[in-house]
Every structure is written in structure tokens, then in C-alpha cells.
Amino acid sequence: MDIPGLPARKGALKLLDAVLRRGETLDVAANAALLGVKGQADRALARALAGEALRWLTDLDAMIDSATRQVLPEDAKPRMVLRLMLAGWLRLETPPHAVIATGLELLSGGPRRLAHGVFSALLKREVKLPDYPTLPADVAARWGERAEAIAEGLGALPPLDLTLRDPSQTAGWAEKLGGVSLAPGHLRLPRGTAIENLEGFSEGAWWVQDLAASLPARLLGAGEGRRVLDLCAAPGGKTLQLAAASWQVTALDMSAKRLARMGENLQRVGLSADTVCADALHWQPDAPFDAVLLDAPCSATGTCRRHPDVLHRIGPRQIAELVELQAALLERAASWVKVGGRLVYAVCSLERAEGEEQAGKVGLTSDPVRAEELPAGIEPTPEGRVRTDPGMLAEHGGLDGFFVARWIKG
């Protein structure tokens, strides 16, 4: 007998397993985990269940542990299934009878009875989640004094941010789309907006880009025909910004597939850039650039609102490997800047090792960011750098975590 929603639960269980046991991202895991899940609605449900289970994992596990005599192993199948059952009930508001009908089908024998007993006990107690997720202890320790504010920012899913090709048209597009602008050239719309159906999509008036992700390119200002190198450029939001600001852009990335997608976006918005498919650690330009923007490969912990898997996949080993790569890229990027030119370094990470500590190693002259260069509500650090996190601009829907620093080559 076919049980409605069961394929989505099976897919969600595979996603959870791929993230927690194999360290895969949700996006990568989806290719295999959702092969047997037909229909967009069921695929979206599987992603939502797994995502909410990961977002609230610490709290869900505490509930499970409170209702068992012996602590279940972290990777025990009953624990995995209970995480999804509780996420469906407490986060997606699935009726308990439907949760039980679909959840227990993922188990058989003794584990099935165990899961049923635990869920029924928690249901009888009318348990509730806290106002915002509890971070894993090691993550909270790394993020320090901002950890609680960041956790508060994880409680709600992020809105949709757009970057406009022509910032002078911000007010007009805000009226047309019913959005709110937090900076020139930016619009914020409610989550769930169908992008392709919005006015301005087909004519390339805007592209999707989190407000925080737009800051690095903003800090290079108007290009006036000068040359800029956008390193690790795909999927291309910053390349589009730079081209729209009249920079002559060379966009380098080692992924041909991602560069092809960037080319499609450039065509849609009517902008141009020279694209280069190469490894920045081995490539060499013919001449230095007026500016270099390095949005370096990183842990992406700053995207935890959208990708809660990073809360559980990223640890000291992964961070250390990325720090080594970032340092090598920064050294090469700095060597490609003209005398008098600017270097901007950015990571969508909340880790000091990838941000503040990395920037401290750069031997160029600091070019401090000024408050008037940033959206209202975002202030530069005392060192003149930018640090954003999901706990900031909460009254407007928050933003991703980023670190940005800028230098001039003397």
C-alpha cells in the first residue's frame, strides 16, 4: 500500500544520513538521496524535513534523550527517524497521526516500537522547541560572544534578496515588486517568492544575492573602465555587480559548469565579462589589475540560515585545510594588484581563523571601510573591516555571515 509522503521521508532520512555520517552537503547529497522521490512537492518536503532536523538537531536530540532509558547512539536509525518525526511535527506542523504513519514505516521490529514509544511520550508531554535553535557546543565555543545572537537569527528562514543592475532605479523597483530596500541597488522580498515570475527577471533588471554577499563588490566602488580580477568568481553575483559598476571584469573559476551558468546570467542581465576556467594557484595573468576581489573558498558557516548542514559538517580539521588554501590564494591575489590598486578579501564564514586572523597576515596597507559605505545598521569593526552574521538586522529579516577586508598596494 502506498503511503502518501513516505517517499519524501525516505529521501529525508538518506539526506540526514549523508550529512551526519558522510559529511556531505545537503545540495550534494540530494543528487543520490532524492533519486526515488518523484514530484517537486515531495522533493521539497524531503529537503525541508532534513533541513529543519539539522537546524534544530541539538534540541531534538535533547528531547529524544529525555524519553529513553539508555542514550541512543548518534547514528542509530531510531534516533535518525525520531529527529525527522519531531521536525515534521514541531516545525512543519504535520499532524501527529501522519507523522507516526510515515515515520514508523522507516523502521521495523524493535526499533519501530522504540520510536513509537518515544514519540508518543513526547507527544503526551506536549513538548515544545525553544524560541530559537541551540547551537552545537563546539560551534557555540568557536563563535564566542556572538553565538547566542547568531542562534536567534537561525530561528527564521531568510527572505529573498535581489541586487539591481541599476541602483538608481531602486525606488521604482521597490514599488513595482513590493519590496523593501536596505541599500541602494538592493531589494528584499518575502521568502517563497517565485523568482522567474517576478517583473524584471526576463529583462535582467536584477539577480538573487544576499545583502551581505553584495558588500565585497560594493567596497570597490565605480570601475570607470578599470580592470578588476574576480577570483573564485562563480556563480557570479559579484561579477555581475562589478560589470554593472563599469569595471572591465576578468572572472576566474576552476569550475567550467559554474562558469557556464555565470555566462547565462551575464547574458540575461545584458552585461559582459571575460571568463577564465583555471586554478588560481597555477594561473598567471599577463598584467596586474587595478583591483582584485578574492571571495575565497571557505567553510560557508555564514550561510547557516540557508544551509544548516554546516553546523554539523564543519570542524577544526576542515577549517584548518581551508585556512591554508585561503592564505595561498591571498598571497597570489596580492601579487596581481597594481601599485595604488585595491585588494578586497571576503569569506562567507563566521570563523575568525578564516576572517580576522587571515586578514592579519596580509602585508599590504589597510584601507579601512567607512560607515557610509555600508547599509544602515552595519558598522565597520574598529579595524575598519566588515563582520556580519545572522543575528544582525534581525528586525529586517537578518543576513548571512561574512567577513570583508580591504587594502591598498603601496
Q: What is the per-residue pLDDT for 260?
A: 95
For 116-130, what is the mean pLDDT? Answer: 97
406 CA to centre of own chain:
22
Q: What is the pLDDT of residues 173-184, one digit of tens each?
A: 999 999 999 999
Asked if 181 and 316 sit in the same domain, the reply is no
What the block records as the C-alpha cell of 89 is: 511535527
Asked if 305 and 231 sit in the same domain, the reply is yes
Task: Let me know if 338 is exposed, middle or buried by CB neighbors in 10 A (0-12, 13-18, 19+).
Answer: middle
294 belongs to a structural domain: yes
Looking at per-residue confidence, does 117 or 5 come out higher? 117
Asked if 77 and 167 sit in the same domain, the reply is no
**Other CB atoms within 10 A of residue 359 CB:** 20
For 372-386, what is the mean pLDDT? Answer: 96
CB contact at 8 A, 342 and 406: yes
pLDDT surpassing 90 at residue 4? no
Asked if 404 and 371 sit in the same domain, the reply is yes
Residue 95 to residue 122: CA distance in whole angstroms? 14
Which of 125, 147, 174 is the C-terminal boundary of a domain?
A: 125
Asked if 389 and 362 sit in the same domain, the reply is yes
Q: Which residue segment(s) compose the domain that 278 sits in? A: 210-408
Asked if 301 and 371 sit in the same domain, the reply is yes
Asked if 223 and 372 sit in the same domain, the reply is yes
Q: What is the per-residue pLDDT for 312?
A: 97
Q: What is the pLDDT of residues 213-255, one digit of tens each?
A: 999 999 999 999 999 999 999 989 999 999 999 999 999 999 9
CATH number of the structural domain spanning residue 95: 1.10.940.10
CATH number of the structural domain spanning residue 245: 3.40.50.150
Q: What is the pLDDT of residues 48-103, one digit of tens each?
A: 999 999 999 999 999 999 999 999 999 999 999 999 999 999 999 999 999 999 99
What backbone torsions phi and psi does residue 348 show, to the nearest 5 degrees? -90, 60
In sequence order, which residues have a C-beta less than 8 Å from that of residue 219 and are 6 or more positions away? 344, 369, 373, 386, 404, 406
pLDDT surpassing 80 at residue 7? yes
Q: What is the per-residue pLDDT for 25?
A: 95
Residue 114 to residue 76: CA distance in whole angstroms? 12
Q: What is the pLDDT of residues 314-341, one digit of tens each?
A: 999 999 999 999 999 999 999 999 999 9
Asked if 258 and 196 sit in the same domain, the reply is no
- The band of 3, judged by pLDDT with boundaries at 50, 70 and 90, is confident
For 140-149, what is the mean pLDDT? Answer: 96
Q: What is the per-residue pLDDT for 337?
A: 98
Asked if 181 and 216 sit in the same domain, the reply is no
Catalytic residues: 348
pLDDT surpassing 60 at residue 1? no
